[in-house]
Amino acid sequence: MTPTPVPAVPAVPAAQVAAPLAVLHDRSACRFEAVVDGLPCVVDYALHGSVMRILHTGVPARLAGRGLAGALVHEVLAQARALGWRVRPVCSYVAAYMQRHPETHDLLEHP
């Protein structure tokens, strides 16, 4: 399956990220990915019905401090919203991000 391009929406000031992220959604791999300076930044998930369990967010150490993880998670959550998915943040980074961003709370899965 060919990854579906996701429209880029910057989530951090332009001074931190040189350009909007080009995020691809590879549904068959349950992964969102953006390549920055030739290195992959990823969010892995598992889909259970309409609940996306976000398992891992990864940005290479060489790219740290540029706001890439936040920009990537912002885009992943925007896609979850567009697809009508609820989110269970298993990944500690995503859990902390969602805690800091109340506008994402409506996406949280409620038992």
pLDDT tens sequence across 27-74: 999 999 999 999 999 999 999 999 999 999 999 999 999 999 999 999
d(CA 83, CA 96): 22
- pTM score: 0.81
Task: Tell me 26's DSSP state.
Answer: E
Q: Torsion over CA of 22, 2, 83 and 31, rounded to 10 degrees?
A: -70
Q: What is d(CA 33, CA 91) in angstroms, rounded to the nearest whole number?
A: 16
Mean pLDDT value across the chain: 87
Domains, the chain: 4-107 (3.40.630.30)
Residues 51 and 86 sit within 8 Å (Cβ to Cβ): yes
